[in-house]
Structures are given as C-alpha cells and as structure tokens.
Structure 1
Amino acid sequence: MDKKLLLKSHFHFIGIGGIGMSALAIGLLKKGCSVSGSDLVKNNETNKLEKLGAVIFTSQVRQNIEFVTSKFTNRLINFVVSSAIKPENEEFSYCKEKNLSIKHRSEILAMLMRTYTALAIAGSHGKTSTSTFLSTILELCTRNSSSITGGIIPIYNSNCHLENTKYLVAEVDESDGTINKYKSDIGIINNIDFDHCDHFSNLSEVISSFKSFAKNSKKLLLNFDCETSRKNFYSNCKWSNSTAKNVAYAIIPTEINSKYTIGKYYENGNFISNLNIPIPGLHNLSNITAAIAASRMIGVDFKEIKKNLKYLKLPKKRFEFRGQIDERNLYDDYAHHPNEIKETIKLGRLFIEQKNNNEFQKNRLVALFQPHRYSRVKQFNKEFAEELSKADVIYVTSIYGAGEGNEDKITSKIITDLIYKKNKNVSYINNYYEVSKNFYELTQKGDLILNMGAGDCHNFWSILNEKNN
C-alpha cells in the first residue's frame, strides 16, 4: 500500500488492546491513518490510543462495524484481526458476512516493514528483550530508528515508536505460522523451541515455519548456542556466548551477578574489548549479543555501542521489580514456557545468593506461576514441574485459557502433583485474589517472589496494593 493510499485508509482492530495489536494501531495513527478498535476491557494501551485519536469500543458487536462503515465512507476501510480472534466473534463474523476487507495483523506489520530497512527479531524466546536492546542501541547510536514490538520499551515508554527513519526494529511472531509473511533486511533468530502446541504438532513444524522466515531475510543472524538453529540453518553471521571460534560475534562472560554482566567481546575470533553490561543473566547476555551483532551488521560504530550499553534496560514484565511489601520483594516475568521459567529462576537465584549471608535466616525464592493455555500444560506438564520444583516454595494458580477450549479437562493439579514428588513445598491456589488474601501466611520476610505467566497474572501487584491500602 503506497503512502497516498495509506492516508486515505481507516483501520479497525478487533481486539485492539493486545500488546501487539495496539502497537500496530499506534503505528498507523502516526502514519496519518484513522483508527478505531474494540476490546472488552480498557487498559493502558487503549487509553493511550484514545489520547492519540483512536475511537475505542468496549464491546464487540456488529453495531461497531456498522458505525465504522457509516462514519468513514470516504476512506478505504480495513478490519484487522489476530489469530486470537475466534470465528464466532460477532464483529469478525459480521465482517465476513458482509464481505468486508479483513486483514491479519501480520499483513499490517509486513506492509509497514516494507517501507524501512527492516531488522526482524524472531525466535521462541527473548524476542521482546532483544528488540528492546536493539531499539535502544540504534536509537542512541543512530537517532534514525523506529520500533514495533510486543512489549513496552523503556527508552520510548511504548510498544511502538514509528517515525520517518531509515531503520525499523520489528518483533515478529511465530506462534500462528504467519511468520512467513515478513520480509526483512536482517532476520534474527534467537532460538528455536517446540511451543504453541495449539498450532504446531511437533518441533519439525516449528523449524519449517522459521525456514520460511529465513528464506525471506536478505541476511540471517543466528544463535550458534542454540543446537536446533545450528543444525537446521546456515549463515555466515552467528553469535555465541560459549565460544569465539567459528562465529562472527561473541561475548564470553567472565562474571555474572545480580547487578551486571562482565564479558569479553570478539568479532570473527578477534578480541575487541571488555564489556560491562548493566543487565544480569546469561539468557539476557545472549539477547544483548544479538542486538550488538545486528547493529554491527548495519555499520554502527562499536565505540558508540560500547558507550551506550550503560543505558540498556529490560522491557516491562521481564524480571521487572514491582516493589516491596514488608521486606518481601516482588518481581514480574512473562515466563510461560518451561525453558523461560528455567532461566528466570536461575536469575532469581543470583539475587538470593547475594543476600544469603545471614546463616540464621535464609531468604527464599518463591515461584508464583499462572499456567498459560491448556494445550501448553498438557504438552509440557512434566517440564513445568521439573523447572518450578527448583524454587524453594511454589504456588500454582488456575490455568489462564487464553480463549482455548478445555475438552481434556486439564487443570493445574497435573503440575502441582508432579512438583510434589520433587519438592513438598508446593500448593495450588485458585486465583490471585486468594494469594493476596493470604499473602502474609504464604510468604515471609526476605522472600523474593517471582510472579510468572503470560495471562492476567501481572495484575497481582495492583490487587496486592488494593488489599494493603
């Protein structure tokens, strides 16, 4: 779609409040389009969109579509959906009934990417963090970069920063198979894991999906430390945190603690510099290495990159410190896959180890987990139990279904029963209101509480504050 046609267009988003859909809506508003959208609940994203001029509906009924088609008669109207929108959704079904123009969210992002030198971040884990680190580096080093991501980037305090720039950092989603829509100048694959069992049957199908993404990337940047990527993809541009040999970019860590990471940076096997990075965790170091590598691939001066590393911050909901209540520290993390939980608990341990100098009172790592999707729990219940059992105390809530049916009657009990075989300090708690109600009985002073999941679990801090006030 050319610029003139874009300015004559109106976009209505069915489910506009989601972190990915709202980013696209903001981007289109900044491009001069008119935008409307619906969601059942208002949130920070819908409030932001209203301030930018979007029309927001808090229902999803056919009357919304009738209003849009009658109000914007002088514009080319497109109705935008994500794969989360079910066929029986009243707005969606009415659009199909009336043969209106329906676009998948991937088509909108692909359209926007075509107008930039696009750096697309893909992978099973760490996409939002890598996008955040790359966006920060390019913003500070080039002042010529835009971003559309699935998380809130601290430097912009937004999930979308779309301007008339040369570069665009775009987080691309593999969960529904639409990753083949994206064409990029540099395609980055963080890692590949079996997930999204509602769409993929096995790892081979996931790999096949990423291969279509790789084929559409002019240059491909791969994680050498991911065995699946290493065995199934080829590129001259690889990064590593375990070796400086046979890779283009490497940061070999020499110290990782709860405050920072120190490492030696290499290019093509040659030592370049020591780096002090203000982000802890080996998984975060991998994401930062990818961001540095992508920046170097487009010619950003290394000295500029090194100078600006001190400004790197994690995106929201990625080991995000939410506050302290009566000497209990609460962190939020988006971890919802066993491997993500593994890395998040490992990172939490760094904080616990630093504090455990008092032999009479050992601080505990308390895992509070809301499982996300019945299909994921069914597929990975053993892996969830294995990783969660490594916390000192574990509380598991009911499953956040994310619109899935539950024909197999899957419950969180399948996880808690397996955890109990490894760690007796596990309990099922129905919801976050119950956790809040019994907060002081469930926790103790000195606890580091890791609240993990991809559903509505991140409202816990608000629920807890309401109770305490």
Structure 2
Amino acid sequence: MIGKLSEFVDKKVHFIGIGGCGMSALAAYLHKHGAVVSGSDCRGTPFMEPLLHRNIPLYIGHDTEKMPACDLVIVTPAVKPDNCELQKAVAQNIPIIRRGEFLGRILSDQKTIAVAGAHGKTSTAALIAWMLHYAGFVPSALVGGIMENFEANFVLQNGSWTVTEADESDGSIKWFSPEISVILNVDDDHIENYGSTDSMLAHYRTLVSQTSGSVILNNTDQVLSCWQSDRIIHFGQRNSFHVDEKTVHYDSQGVTFVLEHAEMQKRDVFLPVPGRFFVSNFLAAVTACVTAGLTVEQCIDAAQSFKGVKRRGQDWGCVDGVRIIEDYAHHPTEISAILEVYRRCYSGKIACVFQPHRFTRSKQIAPLLADSFRNADSLIITDIYSADEHVMQGINGEYVFQHICQKRAGGCLYISHLNDVVEYLEQKKNEFQLIIFMGAGSIGICAKQFKALLQSMVSI
C-alpha cells in the first residue's frame, strides 16, 4: 500500500518514461525527500537535464540489463504492456503504480493545493505557486509545463504548501485528498477514459469529498455552478471574487481588468499574459491563495510579474513585421478562446498552423474543429502527432483537414510535414501580421525553424 511521503526515504524508485514533464517533476520531488531515484525513457528530453544535475541516474532506451534493483516502479499511461522493463517488474513482483495515483497518494499528508479541470490547470497552478512564492510562503510545486518564473516544471522549497495538478485525463484525480482543491471547468475532453459523463463527474465529486478544506469552483461553468456545500467557494459570482466583463481589455502585452468582491474595494489588475482564460485562472488563483493566507494585495502584486508557462501563448518575438506565437491548445474550446483574444489584439491577418494531437483525440474532435478556427484568416493542418499511440487506419491530418473543409469557406491547407510548412510560410510571410503555431506535440520545432529562417533572411 502506497502511503506517506516519509515512507520513501532510502527507498529505490524507478521511473519508466521519466522524460515526461509530470514524471520528471515527480522524480525530482521524491529525490528531494530522500528516495533513491532512477529512470529511463525511449528518447532524451529537456526535462531530464535538471535530474542529471541532481545526479539522478538516467538512461535512454528501455533495457532490463540497465534497470537497477528497485522497490517500486512508476509508469505513465503511455507505457505499453509489452515494455521490457515493465515486464521485468511484473515478473519480479515489484509493485507498479501510475504517476497520477502515486502523486495523489504521497501528497495525502501534505498541505496541498490541487488544481483540476479540463483546461487551464498548468497555468493556474503556476500562478498559485508564483503568488505563494512572491508572498514569502516558499512553496513546492509540480506542474505540467515549464513555469517561466521558475524556469522549470517543478520548484522544491521548504515551505508548508505544495501546489500540483490533479489530472483528470486518466482518472487519477480520484487519488488526491488536498487541503484546498480548485476545479476550473469540466467537459468531455477525456470521456473515452471514463465511458460516460456520469463516471467522469463522479471522479470530480470524489476529489471534492476528499478535500479537507475549501473547494474552489468556477461559477461560470454550467456543471460546477450547481454544486453546493458549506466548503465550496464559487469564484465568478458577486459574493466572491469576480470581474465585470466590461472592464476586461486585451492587447498584445496582456490583459487588464477590475477585480471585485462584496467585502473589498475594487482593484485594478494587470496580467502580462494574453488570453480570456487567464482572467478566470486569476480568479481561481486569488481565491485559493487568499484561502491559504495571502492578502489580495499580495496576489495582485505577484500577478503583475507572472511570466506564464512555456508554450501557453509563448511569444517568440516579431521578425520582419511578423509576430510568432506558440500555444499548447489542441482542444476546440482552447483553440477558440486563444484565437478570439489574438483577433482582438491584432488588426492584420492571422495564420494558424495546427498540429492535431493523438489519433483517438483527432477522430473524436475533428467534426468540432471548424468553428474553433473562425478567427484565423488562414489555416494550415499538419499530420497528427501520435504521442506514441498506434496508427489508426484512415485517421490522419488529411482526415482532420477534410472535416474542417466541410464547414469552412476556404483559407485552409493540408501540409503534412513541418519542414514543408516552414517553406510555405516563407513564401506567404508578408501576408500575415501574426502566425500562431498550435498543438501539444512537436509544433514548437516548426515555430523555432520559421523564426530562425526569418532572422537569417533579415540579416542578409
């Protein structure tokens, strides 16, 4: 039985797939608390470098000969049953547990703020961590992206609070029992892992019931607004932190708005990150942090220096009159929200390069995507990023493209390979004020290559 974090001092824990964002953060956290950590991955990733600096033994490729003796094996959902290291652990009766479940279990006796929801978890968790840090609470944090303020996907400090994400994608949300929980929104984003909406909502309700303190919910979410209890705080309504939409203004530098609460004077807020979701994320973060003991002023001051999360509206700069943005959005709701904000900020034409994510996901959402791109003047669809999924017959980038074309009146191209996308954009660059590279896979490579190409042309 997996129990308290203190039980893992000197225990040998091996991570299969340690190069992932969440896995590497958990490995560092365990290492800090006295575990003997090792790990492998099929490929090298930037997330492995901080672990090497901590002298954590890692190796590329899965190899039973290199796999050290261990007391526990932690895996991600991406690890297939035929993985040789996983099979070795099974044969030797070594306990095996998924990352999300393990994280939830070991944090059960810690002062934890857990952020859940279909969209915005990483940005909100990063903002909460920054607010706590700015106010001198020296928190630890484990999130699903690179927090620009900390330049890492984790921060390990000696304060009492730990901030993390409770991931709903694989059902591991039910293993968390935090002191404060935040649920931003719910939708059917990962319904394939639950079988039904009722089953998915039951997992969220389990998180609520297992939270020892306050439960912070988004009042603008149709489902969450109906949930009631003495411990629930709904942000976004008049007797809690809320924002009058008329006060919200976007530009290329970020978003400004007026924060309101029935028990305080109105406050002007500036967030140096773009996006409609960030206003809602801020309301969630300030509610959580005030509940944890911060003042409203500390939260607002911290927000002004919040740098966001890498790949969430990441600005790669403006080269030869073309602004280059990369964003992690890959779900219709996220895509629509991001493009809506940039449409307000830029008067010129906007091009969007979209890399669909996973075959199963692409099959599910392809019929829903067309309207999400309505604020893009030009749209390029690439091949699907598999994320190690097996190929599905007939499901590819062209499949997504055809579904979009059925509802979109022109301005859409299918270019399968990223290198060809860069070449195409080189010819068309003067037509656009903004080009957004969007997706959760390798699309960032395309953004970097395009920027480098423009810079080389300018310097000639």
Same fold at TM > 0.5: yes
8 Å contact kept, 1:256–1:280: no
Give the 3-state SS of the residue equivalent to 1:417 in structure 2. Answer: helix
**Structure 1 residues 467, 439: closer, same or farther in 2, change over 3 A?**
same
Q: CA deviation at 1:329?
A: 1.7
What amino acid is aligned across from residue 51 of structure 1 in structure 2?
A: H
Q: CA deviation at 1:430?
A: 0.7
Range 292-301 or range 227-236, more displaced: 227-236
Question: Could you report, residue by residue, the CA deviation over 1:365-405 in whole angstroms, capped at 9, with x for unpaired residues?
Answer: 11110111122222211211221243100000111122323
8 Å contact kept, 2:4–2:109: no
Give the 3-state SS of the residue equivalent to 1:62 in structure 2. Answer: coil
8 Å contact kept, 2:20–2:45: no
8 Å contact kept, 1:116–1:165: no
What amino acid is aligned across from residue 417 of structure 1 in structure 2?
A: Q
Give the 3-state SS of the residue equivalent to 1:329 in structure 2. Answer: strand
Distance (whole Å) between structure 2 residues aligned to residue 261 and residue 406 of structure 1 = 41
Give the 3-state SS of the residue equivalent to 1:24 in structure 2. Answer: helix
Q: Corresponding residue for 1:237? A: 233
Q: CA deviation at 1:268?
A: 4.2
**Structure 1 residues 39, 464: closer, same or farther in 2, change over 3 A?**
farther
8 Å contact kept, 2:248–2:258: no
Q: Corresponding residue for 1:225? A: 220
**What are the within-5 Å matches in structure 2 for residues 62-461 of structure 1?**
62-65=64-67, 68-69=68-69, 77-218=71-212, 219-232=214-227, 234=229, 236-240=232-236, 244-245=237-238, 247-253=239-245, 254-258=247-251, 259-268=253-262, 271-353=265-347, 363-420=348-405, 421-444=407-430, 446-461=432-447
Distance (whole Å) between structure 2 residues aligned to residue 337 and residue 3 of structure 1 = 35
Give the 3-state SS of the residue equivalent to 2:362 in structure 1. Answer: helix
Distance (whole Å) between structure 2 residues aligned to residue 195 and residue 303 of structure 1 = 35
Q: CA deviation at 1:326?
A: 3.2
**Structure 1 residues 290, 159: closer, same or farther in 2, change over 3 A?**
same
8 Å contact kept, 1:197–1:376: no
**Equivalent residues, number:** 448
Distance (whole Å) between structure 1 residues aligned to residue 86 and residue 453 of structure 2 = 39
Q: CA deviation at 1:286?
A: 0.3
CA RMSD, Structure 1 to Structure 2 (Å): 2.1
Distance (whole Å) between structure 1 residues aligned to residue 113 and residue 6 of structure 2 = 25
What amino acid is aligned across from residue 404 of structure 2 in structure 1?
A: I
Give the 3-state SS of the residue equivalent to 2:34 in structure 1. Answer: coil
Q: CA deviation at 1:128?
A: 0.5
**Structure 1 residues 255, 466: closer, same or farther in 2, change over 3 A?**
closer
Range 231-240 or range 85-94, more displaced: 231-240
Q: CA deviation at 1:316?
A: 0.6
Question: Could you report, residue by residue, the CA deviation over 1:283-317 in whole angstroms, capped at 9, with x for unpaired residues?
Answer: 11000110001011122122222333211221111
- 5+ long unaligned stretches in structure 1: 70-75, 354-362
Distance (whole Å) between structure 2 residues aligned to residue 449 and residue 323 of structure 1 = 11
Give the 3-state SS of the residue equivalent to 2:371 in structure 1. Answer: helix
Question: Could you report, residue by residue, the CA deviation over 1:151-182 in whole angstroms, capped at 9, with x for unpaired residues?
Answer: 11122111111222111111111001111011
Question: Could you report, residue by residue, the CA deviation over 1:66-103 in whole angstroms, capped at 9, with x for unpaired residues?
Answer: xx01xxxxxx6211101111111121122112211212
Q: CA deviation at 1:64?
A: 2.6
Range 230-239 or range 133-142, more displaced: 230-239
Q: CA deviation at 1:339?
A: 0.1
Q: Corresponding residue for 1:359? A: none
Give the 3-state SS of the residue equivalent to 1:63 in structure 2. Answer: coil
**Structure 1 residues 316, 268: closer, same or farther in 2, change over 3 A?**
same
Distance (whole Å) between structure 1 residues aligned to residue 154 and residue 316 of structure 2 = 23
Q: Corresponding residue for 1:10? A: 12
**Structure 1 residues 236, 183: closer, same or farther in 2, change over 3 A?**
closer
Give the 3-state SS of the residue equivalent to 1:226 in structure 2. Answer: coil
What amino acid is aligned across from residue 239 of structure 1 in structure 2?
A: F
Q: CA deviation at 1:129?
A: 0.6
What amino acid is aligned across from residue 380 of structure 1 in structure 2?
A: I
**Structure 1 residues 119, 3: closer, same or farther in 2, change over 3 A?**
closer
Distance (whole Å) between structure 1 residues aligned to residue 222 and residue 291 of structure 2 = 23
**Structure 1 residues 335, 5: closer, same or farther in 2, change over 3 A?**
same
**Structure 1 residues 293, 438: closer, same or farther in 2, change over 3 A?**
same
8 Å contact kept, 1:190–1:222: yes
Give the 3-state SS of the residue equivalent to 1:318 in structure 2. Answer: coil
Give the 3-state SS of the residue equivalent to 1:184 in structure 2. Answer: coil
Q: CA deviation at 1:350?
A: 2.5
Q: Does 1:464 align with 2:457?
A: no
8 Å contact kept, 1:389–1:419: no
**Structure 1 residues 6, 368: closer, same or farther in 2, change over 3 A?**
same
Q: Corresponding residue for 1:73? A: none
Range 195-204 or range 211-220, more displaced: 195-204
Distance (whole Å) between structure 2 residues aligned to residue 303 and residue 466 of structure 1 = 41
Question: Could you report, residue by residue, the CA deviation over 1:19-76 in whole angstroms, capped at 9, with x for unpaired residues?
Answer: 11011011122223222111122121112211111111111122232xx01xxxxxx6
Percent identity over the alignment is: 26
Distance (whole Å) between structure 2 residues aligned to residue 143 and residue 210 of structure 1 = 28
Q: CA deviation at 1:222?
A: 0.3
Q: CA deviation at 1:115?
A: 4.2
